Amino acid sequence: MAQLSRRYFLEMALSGAAMSAMPAALSSAAAAAGKKMNVLFFAVDDLKPNIGCFGDPIARTPNLDRIAAKGTIFTRCYCQQAVCSPSRTSLLTGLRPDSTQVYDLETHFRDTIPNVVTLPQQFKKHGYHAQGLSKIYHGGLDDKQSWSVPHWQPQTPGYGKPENLELMKRLYAEIKKAGKDPKQRQNRPRGPAWEDADVPDNYFADGATADRAIQVLREIKDKPFFFAVGFLKPHLPFVAPKKYWDLYDPKVFKFAEYREAPKDCPPLAMSSWGELRAYYGIPKQGPLSPEQERSMLHGYYAATSYTDAQVGRILDELEKLGLADNTIVVLWGDHGWHLGDHGLWCKHTNFEQATRSPLLISVPGQKTAGSRCDRLVEFVDIAPTLMELCGVPPTENLEGLSFKPLIEDPNRAWKKAAFSQYPRGGGKGQPGYMGYSMRTDRYRFTEWRPRKDNGEKFHELYDMEKDPLETVNLAASKENADLVRQLSAMLDAGWKGALPPR
């Protein structure tokens, strides 16, 4: 795919009366005080838009809602690949997976694009203190060049109940006895998929991270900063202190409405949700029991509320230190998550539930506080947006577009499409595939392309207006042949062809 040049980015930033008027409108308070705008950058693992401010009637997320009340809710934000490392790499570099060549959890982007300048690194180069806590890049793949000081990781137990701690000891011992290293990712033992231990917040990693974040804010309050705070929950296992489980009556959780593969869907589109199956007590094949499903739903919401509370503690400290008036707050979940829809759990697909991700951004001085923006935006847009908002020069070859204009006018014309992708490996002599997926205002269109020339292409087409649950793949119908050709051509034109007019 073609790259967006720095020149194009600058032209976009300068074109149009609305855009040229924005710096004064959004940063007048900080400018009047002669201060640079800070960035408080929250990264939340596996958080989907099951949040109060996104319209979820069950979710107890007062602090995420608090960010939304002061900022903009991007209701249709899409990640570039629905798995942790590729998604985070795209967001933090402003490049898409085919440019980073990061499609898995093992490849470090410095091995494929060694000279790239990341989002925090660019802030550091331009006078900012850049610091990161917990999971910002994928675990074990941190980037020293991004930070002003060494990255910090919490060191806390994974479970709180004595029986689960004993279980983990036994599982570790069994792996060692088998001659394997339990610290290696492929051998790491997995305990129960959920837990409601009666422990304080900082017993677990996210509470400890909030403690550390509060301390760091006090230390850096007199510097311009790009401060990235990562939270591990609601990633599996759904472990959260009991008080967050107690926020929810288990009876309120409803199972997914549509629980089958879409009609006429190519098998490549589905996943076996192996991530969840690795956890203790989860069946290796077949569906979860109703009791397990209810516990999974309960645990996901409890873990989300646990993280919400930690975000709130940090926001409180930001206000106490007098930093709220010149700090941009941005919060994102690194991709969506299946909660039984299509009979799936986890992520690892190109469906709407896996690729649609929450994005909240609050900019001091914005006139549209509390607004909802339904325009299509992507993770690769976040880096150029934050750079423009803070007056930091854009890095080279960005493949996203600053959505700063949407913060001023959430209803203005914008991108025609958002793009995601997911690889499927080959086997038994069959070529591997890359599924390229495109979300337009109305459709989700996916083309599974063989990585070798001798393979067959497969298509998916869902009418998201008439069929938001993606129950029927329309691509196989002859009456949709022209539409498939049109969307395929649009997909071939790529993200640059979907940009708004200059």
Per CATH, the homologous superfamily of domain 6-238+277-416 is Alkaline Phosphatase, subunit A (3.40.720.10)
Q: Which residues are known to be catalytic? A: 84, 138
Provide the whole-model pTM.
0.93
Tokens 């002061």 correspond to 70
Length of the chain: 502
Q: For residue 187, what pLDDT is reported? A: 85
Phi-psi label, residue 55: left if phi above 0, alpha if psi -120 to 50, beta otherwise: left
* Distance from C-alpha of 463 to C-alpha of 441, rounded to nearest angstrom: 10
Judge contact between 298 and 253, C-beta under 8 A: yes
Helix axes 290-320, 62-70, angle to 10 degrees: 50
| Cα gap 471→300, rounded to integer Å | 24
Q: Assess contact for 79 and 90: CB atoms under 8 A.
A: yes
**Domain extents in the chain:** 6-238+277-416
Q: Which residues contact 111 (CB under 8 A, 6 or more apart)?
A: none
User: What pLDDT does residue 43 have?
Assistant: 98
Phi and psi at 302, nearest 5°, equal: -65, -45
d(CA 333, CA 360): 10
> Between vectors from CA 437 to CA 433 and to CA 441, what angle results, nearest 5°?
170
Q: pLDDT at position 11, please?
A: 43
Backbone phi and psi for residue 301, each to the nearest 5 degrees, phi listed first: -70, -40
Mean pLDDT in order along the chain per 10 residues (502 residues): 43 38 46 77 98 98 98 98 98 98 96 98 98 95 97 97 96 91 86 98 98 98 98 98 98 96 96 96 96 98 98 98 98 98 98 98 96 98 98 96 97 97 78 94 97 88 98 96 98 96 79
Pairing mode, if any, of strands 433-440 and 417-424?
antiparallel
**Separation CA 298–CA 174 (nearest Å):** 30
Dist CA 424 CA 16 (whole Å): 42
Which DSSP category does 16 fall into? S
* Residue among 297, 230, 276 nearest 87 (CA): 230
